[in-house]
Every structure is written in C-alpha cells, then in structure tokens.
Structure 1
C-alpha cells in the first residue's frame, strides 16, 4: 500500500505520531485562542517573530528559505512541550495522515527503505503492481524521471512519487535479481484499500482470534465484520491481539469496547485545561460480544487507543490482560490542519480509565530523546523478561470493579506476564529481514510450485507441510548474493524461527485469497506455533471466564 516497513526513527516514534485523537472530523475553530488569558502575550510574541523573520529575509547576508526557518522554529518551540504535541510539514503530514486512512490512490506495493534504496516487500493483492508483475525483492531505480536512490529518498518522497490521482499513469524502472538489465513497467494508479484488522480466524471450535494493528478510519467496521463472522463459526471465547498497535482514533477504540461491554459502563473520560474537551464516553449499544470470555494481548508497543481498550476492559474485569506493560501514552491530541497543508497535533487533555487511572508514563518537558529511550531502558533493566522488574508506583493504586489492584502512571500492567522471547533472534536474522531475503525466497518458491499448492487445502498444508534443509540452504544462498555475510552460529540460533517464518510466508503467498478483506490468517496461523504470547493466552480462558462472571476471590482482588 505504498506502505513502508521501516527501520528508521519513524518506526521508533510511531506510538508518538499515531497518538490518540478525538473524533476524526473535529478540528480547531477560529475561536480556539479566544478565551486565552494570555492573548496579549501571544500577540506580542507573534509580532516579535514576524519582525525577526522579516529582518532575516530582507537583510541577511545570504539568501535563505524562510519556509524552512518557520518549520524549524515551530519544531523547536514544540520541543518545550510534551512529547506528543507534534508538527508535520506539508509533505510529512500527508505520510502521517495516510497511517490512519482506510485507503489511498497509488500503485499498491509494500516497500522497505534500506540504506537509501527502496525495495518492494510485496505487491498488494489486487493492486496495479501485482497485475503488472512487480515482484517481492524488486529494487526501485526510477519513478518517472525521479531517481529512487540517495539521501533525498525518504518516506515522504516515496509517497509523493508513488501516490497520485486514480487513473493517472506512472512509469516504474526496477532491478530484479537474476535479470541483467532494468525492467520498465507502466502502471495506472488505482484505489488501494488498507486494513487494520490483520487476522480473524478460529483457533479451535470455540476460540476466535482477532489481530488489530492500528485504530484507523475503518477499524471499527472491520472489527464488527470479524466478530460477526467468527460468531457464525461458533466463537464463544475471544482473543484480541493489540500487540504492536500504536493507536489512532479514540472513537474507534471506544466503539470497539462498547461491543464487548454491557450496560452503560464508563469506558474513558478526558480532562484538560479547557473544559470544552472534557468528556465521558460510556457504553451505549447492545454489543456483539457482551458475554463470553475475553483475553487481550498487549506489549510495550501497544499505545494510546490500544491502552484505552485494555484499560477499560481491565477496570471492569471484562477481560484478562496478558503480555507486557504497555507503552504508557495517556495524552489526547487535537489534529489541526494549517493553511499550507501542514498539520499540528496539539495535546489538549489527558484521558483516564474508568477507575480513574492516567496511564501516561512520566516525561520531562522538552526531553523527547529521553522519552524515546524508555523502551530501551525497560529492555536493559530486564522488565521485558522478568515480571518482578516492573516497578509500579505504589501511590498510584486503583481498584477494578471487583476490587483487584491496578496501577496508573506508566502504561497498562498485564494481569498475566509473558516475557519477550529473543532466544532465536540474531544479527544475521535482522539482516535477512532488512533485505527481505526470506520473503523473496518464499514468493519465488510459490510461483514455481503453485500447481502443487492448488492440489491441497490450507488445512492440509498447515498440518503436513515442512520447510526442508534445502529450502534453508536456498535462503542462505540468496542472502549471500545479497551481500549478507553468513554466520554459522547466528544461523543455527535463528534456524527454527527462519523455518517457521518461511512456512508462514509460503502460506500467505499460496493461500491468501482476495475476498478476505485484507486478512493474513494463513500467515498468523503458522506463526502462532512459535508465539509464546498466543500459546500462553490460550490457556487462560478459564481465568477470563471467572472475571466475566464476577468470580474474583478476595485473594485475587488483592493481587
């Protein structure tokens, strides 16, 4: 989806940039600053800035770009505020908004920007690139007359060249492994839908699994469709996976909770300096899954809207929360579209879970770098591996409906801890990821053996297919061709993961159907065999059932 698989600071800041917002249509009005007691101070500051900018433009010894100076000034000013108030210049605003849209007009590829070079991860099913024959692993050399290598190539640049009006044409020049000369493709852009529910399938006769990757425009509708489909298949228990979900629209998150929560229970409330942004959101609809046990998976990358869902369900004892302590993002932003196409996301309030918790982790005004190091610090202090390393503030204790102790001040602490599994990770594996070597092998393998896969169902494949040592040797051979230096010790450590990951990718390319609304069920079903979080969560539905029925002992309540 002209959708990046990124390795840069953008990825690190995603929970910050995809922060909780108010309802999608709400924007600041012309009277936003009308009630400010400091209006005279604001006016004086505006006059001073205008004077300095005019002096520079008229008198500075060299020619300067005043637009760049203004962008820089705004960015540096906002660094004195909280870490979630953020400014996007017009180019970056387009890329940021696209993360929450339900679709776009483009050529339909998932790409990876690696060392100033753009690689195709995969052409999206049903898109122009797939129809034209663009393949995973293709290196994009040129788009129309624009060279696609070098330091100028960033995500905003890529978006601006690949996306465009539906029906418009774009010429792509690519370099493909094994083909000596570049290949040219003339593509006609089309509408490319994007999806936020990445998987929805039955794990067994009773347990349904739903993976939500973000809270975008279409998330609530996708979630309802997924739950409805699973219920027709007999779902009586729900595993909701919010791991790695950086958040998005608040109302999509609260609507999701409303489908799981009975009565008119409080879901979330906000409080800010201006009482126009103070509100309470309660359950109001007859939900699709108000009965039946629920387990929610979270981790250190589950942020903002994800934490609203987990916090509300935990406070009302509606779901058992499993995994690791979440990101800790409890501030609400108002998106403001500025006149030149840039965007300001301004923090206007804090949100609180039903028990009264603010789960915003501590921060120092103006210290964005220190704030971004929090996850790294958790890793170094052992919190991602040992539950006893989680240091909750004893002064920030709150009670769920049933009297269980929960904590504020830094994310949602899970009811059941699952350590991060790094036993199979290695630098060699990370290089394979960066160059998309395993993906490329899987796609080529499926293309060469498609008739074989057409003879068996996915259920048969899942049960009987095994990745051979010859396949692994093929991956290593391709990696060497990609200038990835072989390391026997690291390869041996990562071999079980590579084997499972390769099978999962083969399943995706061989069996993913166009009529599934973007679901990657086959991939997740294979990967779940090595996913300790899913395996642990699957054993906890009896405990979740106790919560759903209000069977919480005094001992449990004091935990």
Structure 2
C-alpha cells in the first residue's frame, strides 16, 4: 500500500488519534457515502424536459470555442460547470473527473497496483516505513528506514516532494517495471532496484483480537469490496477462540457499499427482520433489505462503538442493531449521512455520483441531518458546530429533534433526523491533547523515533510473542527525553508543562507504533492487532465499553434497564 500514515491530526487544533483521519474519511463520506451499483438500476427517462437547456449550453460552449479572445480548454469548462451545477443539489451528489474517479474507487476496491510500501515524508525525503508483506518491495529486500531517492527518473527528494508525486511515481499497471534508487541505513552509496508492479491488497478490518478469554474486539475501517468477507473470517476466528461477547468498532468508518453493511447486520440479527429500506422519488430505487441467513453471532452481548466520523453504511449497521435492540451503542453521535448515491461511469471515465434515495432504519428513522441545497459549506461545518456547543464532551448538548421520535422493538426511544445517538455517551478525551503534541506529530517525531527503535531492536523483538513484547518494551523517561531533544533539533520548542500533560499518551502511542513495525510482517490479513492492543489501553471509549457488557445483556429485558447514560 503506497500510503502515508499520518498520526493524530484529525481536527487540526486537537491532533488526537481519533481525529486525524477525519479529513480523509469525510472526503470519502462526502464523495461516496452509501453506494449502490449503477447496474442495480435500469432504464432512463426522456430528455424532453431538459432539451432546451442542453441546446443553450451547447450553443454557449460552441461560441466560446470559436470566438473567445483567448484559447481555452473547453473540457475544463465543462467539468467546472458540472461541479457548480451539482452544488445546487444535496451535499453528496458529486462529479469526479477521470483521475479523481479512479482514486475514489480505489478507496473501496480490494486493492491497487503498485510496489507495496508504506512510506513517510520526513526532512524532504521519502522513507520506507515498512514493505507490505508479500509485495514486490518485500520480495526485493527493501527494508524499513530505506530512503527512496528516485523512481525511474523522478526525484523524490526536496521541498517539492509530496504525497501525490510519490503516488504517481510508484503506482502503475501491474506487470510494469519500475526502477527505484534506494539508500539504506549505514550505506554510503545508493543502489538501484527494478521491481515489477503487482496487485497490492487493501483491507477493511484493522483489528480482530481477544481482549480476554471471552471478549472479542473487531474494528472495521470501511465497507469496501472485501469488507464482508474479511469481517466474516475475523468473526469466525474470534468465535473459535471462545468469544462470547464482542466490541464492534465503527468509529471513523465513513461508509461504503450498502450490501456489505446489511450482510454484516445479518450476522447479528436473527429471523427475517427488516435491516434498512430506501425511498426515492423514483420507485425503481425503493428497496427493502431483510435478514436472510443464520448469522454467526445472533446471541451474545454486542457493543458497537460510533463517533462523529461514523457515517452512511456505518449508520445503517448501527441503526439496525439499535432498532432491533441487538447492539448497545456506545460513543458519540454519528455523522448523519442518510442519502444513497448511484455511481454512474461516464463515457470519458469520469463519474457522476447521483443521490437517488434516502435510507431509513427498521424503525423508520431517516438519519440524514438537515441541509440546505446549495449551501454545502454550512453542511460541512456542522461538525464544528457540534464542537462549539460542547456536544463532544456533554451528552445533554446533543440536539435531537423532538418531533422525530421513534421506538425500538422493545420500546426504547430513539431519534431520527441527525445521525445515530448512542445509548451510552462517552465524551472525547482531551486531557492529553496539547499544542506541543501536535507539533511532534507535524514533524513526524513520534513516528520516526518508533521506527528507529524498532529497527535498532528488531532482531531481539521479532523473536518475542506479543505478551513478552508487551512486558519487554517500556519506554523510560530518559528515552522520552531523547525524543524531545530530537524534536528540539527539528525546531519544536520544548514545553515542559505540555509535554508532561501528554507524556503518558506519547509513551503509549510510541510503543503501539513500535509494535506495529515489529509485527506487521506477520499480519498477512492486513490487521494491526498488536498496535490496537496497546493503543486501545489509552482510549477512553474503548475502556469504558469493556465495562458495559451488563448493559448490552440487559437489552433483551426492555427499556427499563437500558437507556441513554452519560
């Protein structure tokens, strides 16, 4: 995976681990959301109603092409005009040019063609964080810490190098060759390696491990092509290890394909219960989805973690579980994305993602938050408004519409019209968030220290099972001091008070990253279990959830025992 992993940076001010992915994830949410394949629908309506407008538009383009004083690219004009036209509709209908369409689809496909490295740009240089297991780079012997100086004739050093430059250079059609100029640690002269690009898988399940003898943890990062198969395999593996209760983590999951979400819901919900339905202006797009198979985990306590980054397909799954009193929802109110897009590939490779219906949970809730057509900017700022009114920290700040009250199967009150409100609210933990920590992440100090530590101790640590690794790696205050000195050398002014406030978090995150670098080669299913085993210990939503299984088990007894808590 040619990817630049950027730790805590989600809301630029807070720089916490739960917030770093939000810009990327919201981009996926706003451009994609819940997707239904275009082949799922058929037929078109006549163009009589738009014929006059089309003729006018064509006439204006022709006049510009023939008579405008300067040369213009009419293709650019067309793209711009389409984009501006769609802004008059809902915030999720979108036009993607051919390049952007390929990039957006790759987010939900099961992989891409490339050389198989995770990289990081540090000091104007591209470093290999890790070669991905089984990929061309690992096969060629590329190591963590290697510098990639050049790809073919494209230099990858200097102030102008950025992610897009690296992606463009490394990715390409499978079977094609690419020549890398590599400088390894301890070597004076670079060497050249020729690789053959191959298919690099991407994964939807970040982690699946046993917390204790009966509690499983499973984190899904998106509802991509391969998401359900990965999920089902992981769920089965946990059951084989004796799982009796499960934490399903959907935080910062922006959505994806609708049927992956309903298939997952079917693994938890028995009988032939309704899971979700869609309703649009055209009844061709009206569908109802029901449970239809005997799921792997229809019995057993289930806790689902959500937050403001959980959107679309995540809300379908969480909403179905909540409405049928099958899962206890923990965290913060979800994004509120309840519009369904049909992706239509156009003749030149561009794509129109057209909103064709709304989806509703089994109880009849529309989770779509309010929006004003043509005011997409205000819509995108809605998460900032939640922050300003204190919703991330105080449950009573959640503004549910009292006119949109619904009941679950057992009579519990739930709300529509603005995301999924959790059954148990857990505030965002900002106790460790400081400006100094943000600067450490901005300079990649924590990542680089963890990578150097892993490389310096790799031979010893790779021999250890995780339990022994967990005991053996405990960063001392002297080691953290060395990190801050490195940061000072990189221009980050030391702030003792802020460092002490963030110190425990820094220690945990650094150790988690070290675990990731040490164990990643053994995680051939794409999971980062060792990273999350450590990182989750400082996650207040996760740790609180582990204490709430009694609440989850009480769901079967109805609303008197279970309600919104804070």
Aligned equivalents of 1:553 and 1:61: distance in 2? 71
Correspondence for 2:226: 218
* Higher mean C-alpha deviation, range 484-493 or range 69-78: 484-493
Compared with structure 1, are the counterparts of its residues 90 and 5 closer, same or farther at alpha carbon in structure 2 (3 Å cutoff)? farther
TM-score by length of 1: 0.92
* Alpha-carbon displacement from aligned partner over 1:402-454 (angstroms, at most 9, x marks no partner): 00000001000000000001111223322332343222222222222123214
Query: Residue 312 of structure 1: CA displacement?
Result: 0.2
Q: Within 5 Å, which residues of 2 pair with 1:143-542?
A: 143-148=151-156, 158-173=166-181, 184-514=192-522, 516-542=524-550
Aligned equivalents of 1:182 and 1:523: distance in 2? 32
* Alpha-carbon displacement from aligned partner over 1:134-181 (angstroms, at most 9, x marks no partner): 566667554323355799977665444321122312233567888887
Correspondence for 2:29: 15
Compared with structure 1, are the counterparts of its residues 12 and 165 closer, same or farther at alpha carbon in structure 2 (3 Å cutoff)? same
Aligned equivalents of 1:73 and 1:181: distance in 2? 52
SS at match of 1:394: coil
Aligned equivalents of 2:215 and 2:381: distance in 1? 37
Query: Residue 375 of structure 1: CA displacement?
Result: 1.1
1:104 counterpart = 2:112: yes
SS at match of 1:225: helix
SS at match of 1:161: helix
2:28–2:104: 8 Å Cα contact kept in structure 1?
Answer: no
SS at match of 2:277: strand
Aligned equivalents of 2:453 and 2:124: distance in 1? 28
| Superposition CA RMSD, Å | 2.6
Aligned equivalents of 2:459 and 2:158: distance in 1? 41
* Higher mean C-alpha deviation, range 434-443 or range 88-97: 434-443
SS at match of 2:438: helix
* Higher mean C-alpha deviation, range 106-115 or range 263-272: 106-115
2:271–2:292: 8 Å Cα contact kept in structure 1?
Answer: yes
Compared with structure 1, are the counterparts of its residues 122 and 44 closer, same or farther at alpha carbon in structure 2 (3 Å cutoff)? farther
Compared with structure 1, are the counterparts of its residues 428 and 414 closer, same or farther at alpha carbon in structure 2 (3 Å cutoff)? same
1:303–1:328: 8 Å Cα contact kept in structure 2?
Answer: yes
1:137–1:436: 8 Å Cα contact kept in structure 2?
Answer: no
SS at match of 1:443: helix
1:441–1:474: 8 Å Cα contact kept in structure 2?
Answer: no
1:270–1:280: 8 Å Cα contact kept in structure 2?
Answer: yes
Q: 5+ unaligned residues in a row in structure 2: which ranges?
A: 11-22
Query: Residue 273 of structure 1: CA displacement?
Result: 0.6
* Alpha-carbon displacement from aligned partner over 1:55-113 (angstroms, at most 9, x marks no partner): 11111111111111111111111111100001111111111111001111101133457
1:551 counterpart = 2:554: no
Aligned equivalents of 2:562 and 2:186: distance in 1? 61
Decide which of 19, 35, 44 is 1:32's aligned counterpart.
44
Compared with structure 1, are the counterparts of its residues 154 and 460 closer, same or farther at alpha carbon in structure 2 (3 Å cutoff)? closer
2:360–2:367: 8 Å Cα contact kept in structure 1?
Answer: yes
Q: 5+ unaligned residues in a row in structure 1: which ranges?
A: none
Aligned equivalents of 1:174 and 1:367: distance in 2? 48
Aligned equivalents of 1:455 and 1:400: distance in 2? 51
1:202–1:208: 8 Å Cα contact kept in structure 2?
Answer: yes
Aligned equivalents of 1:216 and 1:243: distance in 2? 15
Q: Within 5 Å, which residues of 2 pair with 1:55-66?
A: 55-66=63-74
Aligned equivalents of 1:129 and 1:151: distance in 2? 25
Query: Residue 25 of structure 1: CA displacement?
Result: 6.4
2:436–2:494: 8 Å Cα contact kept in structure 1?
Answer: yes
